[in-house]
Amino acid sequence: MTSATQPLPLRETPHVPGWPIIGSLPAMAKDPAQFFVDCYRKYGPVCRLSVLGQRYVLIAGVEAANFLGTREGKECLRSKEFWQGLVEEYGATRVLTGEDGESHKQLRDIMRRGYSKESIKGRYNELVEITDRAILRDWKPGQKVPVVQAMQYMVVDQLGTILTGAAPLEYVKDIRTMILYILNVLVTRQRPKILLKRPKYRKAKARVFELGYKMIEQAKARYGKVPEDQRNLIDDIYAAHVETPTVMPASDLIVSLTGPYVAGLDTVANTTAAVVYTVLKHPEVKARVLAEVDALFANGAIEEEDLLKRIPALQGAIMETMRLYPIAVAQMRTATRDFVFEGHLIRKGEMIYIGTSVPHFMDEYFPDAKRFDIDRYSKPRAEHMQPGAYSPFGRGPHTCLGKSLAEIQIALTMARVFYKLELELVSPHYTLKTKTAPTPGPAMNFKVRVKGYRH
Ligand code: HEM
């Protein structure tokens, strides 16, 4: 063997010191994004840590983000173990987020159209109407509005109407409770399993299943009657069940049909709530955003073509918020086989956090990274285009399937909220408090004052 072909010696992987039994739980629970950045700075792209007795490898930085999209990354990483608990809890055989390879592709193909931007083509003005309805209902002048909660109702109204044909607002609390328990107990495993026996959870689960059965009935009634170009996500999932029941068995219908709420509720509600904060906190940004949205709605109905390009200040504010307040700090995977990453041996079966948000907080990629700077994303700076630097929607085969839909949904929601409402922080010195579980985002007690209507 020549020296050129000799493998490099393996590096010793550092261990992050932690507390007895709970390990690194306190640091992770306090601020997971900062914890992963600190680990990266101190230990480099690979380290090991433990949380509640479970050992994990943390791989982070642009190296890790880019690895997710490589062939080796696809072969060496899988999602199954993290989602298996959810699959069993629903009595299903598989779920989109937990599959990899061919099986994953099969499910993504069924759901691609329903989750895509195409699903709201021609419906932007309808989305605006739903947003207006939610504003009138939950954002009353003179009141202090709990922003995350108000956004949750708005998001369910929007996603329900657009993706499934109905807005099940009476189930919002149940969906949230179920997401909270499942993500905390079964997916991220930050809480003990015994919690799933709580009556509060059992009741919420029964209600979400009730919603699921109603959705099945609706889909059944529509099957074969809706023209191809008007089919929504629910129609596509149900058609797959009828036409290829081995691919979409009856047992998998509820988890798939209620999927948009699990995937879209906390993610969009937390992100839009954070945008409310960042824009109000920066008066110079607010002035630019208001000028833009006033022009956008000046003629009543809006043009769909190139919407995001026509609101660069708002789009910059949204992207900057998603950089600084990512709802997915890391992706979770298991090693399918032994592999070497950045000179470190990772063993088959090890659980891995992939800290894709770490570069978001690094001056090397986003100069003066702590600064809220909405012009980072326009050319020639385009800081987010550096490979592996910006991953709010994840990376690799599981990259957010609702990304392009979410981008429009978030932009239109924020455009309409700022167009319609005169909002202010309860104090100009207010600094956002955040929560980390089940999805990182503004704390539930974050409120803004509605001073009145602008339009
Ligand atoms: C702020 C908005 C959103 C953000 C930041 C976001 C982020 C993410 C991330 C990071 C993942 C990858 C998880 C992983 O690799 O383990 C993901 C997956 C996914 N997202 Fe989103 N998401 C958002 C909104 C939405 C919306 C509105 C929908 C649809 C209603 C949606 C549907 C999905 C689906 C179906 C997946 C699973 C994809 C797969 O496993 O193949 N997301 N999202």
The confidence score (pLDDT) of residue 71 equals 96
The confidence score (pLDDT) of residue 5 equals 59
Assign 351 to helix, strand or coil.
strand
- β-strands 54-60, 351-355 pairing: parallel
Q: How many CA atoms lie within 13 A of 164 on its CB side?
A: 28
Structure tokens of 182? 């499942």
Peptide bond into 14 cis (omega under 30): no
To the nearest whole number, what is the mean pLDDT of the chain?
94
Question: Does residue 17 belong to any structural domain of this protein?
Answer: no
The confidence score (pLDDT) of residue 167 equals 83
Give the phi and the psi of residue 27 in degrees, each rounded to 5. Answer: -65, -40
Mutating to test ligand 1, I would choose from 112, 127, 262, 267 the residue with most ligand atoms within 8 A of its C-beta, which is 267
Question: Does residue 53 belong to any structural domain of this protein?
Answer: no
Question: Does the CB atom of residue 398 touch ligand 1 within 6 A?
Answer: yes
Question: Does residue 65 belong to any structural domain of this protein?
Answer: no
**C-alpha to C-alpha distance for 155 and 417, rounded to whole angstroms:** 13
Question: Does residue 428 belong to any structural domain of this protein?
Answer: yes
CA of 364 to the centre of ligand 1 (A): 27
Report the nearest-CA residue for atom 19 of ligand 1: 400
The confidence score (pLDDT) of residue 2 equals 41
The confidence score (pLDDT) of residue 1 equals 41
- pLDDT at residue 4 above 60? no
Using the atom order of ligand 1, give the atom closest to the CA of residue 326: 5
Angle at 296 between CA 150 and CA 305, to 5 degrees: 100
Question: Does residue 85 belong to any structural domain of this protein?
Answer: no
Please count the structural domains in the chain.
1
Report the nearest-CA residue for atom 42 of ligand 1: 402
Range of the domain at 442: 98-330+365-453
Residues facing residue 421 across a β-bridge = 453
Each residue's pLDDT tens digit, 331-381: 999 999 999 999 999 999 999 999 999 999 999 999 999 999 999 999 999
Over residues 145-170, the mean pLDDT reads 90
Question: Does residue 353 belong to any structural domain of this protein?
Answer: no
Question: Does the CB atom of residue 394 touch ligand 1 within 6 A?
Answer: yes
Mutating to test ligand 1, I would choose from 77, 400, 409 the residue with most ligand atoms within 8 A of its C-beta, which is 400
Over residues 16-43, the mean pLDDT reads 94
Question: Does the CB atom of residue 68 touch ligand 1 within 6 A?
Answer: no
Question: Does residue 87 belong to any structural domain of this protein?
Answer: no
CATH number (domain holding residue 398):
1.10.630.10
Contacts of 6 (CB under 8 A, 6+ apart): none
Question: Does residue 29 belong to any structural domain of this protein?
Answer: no
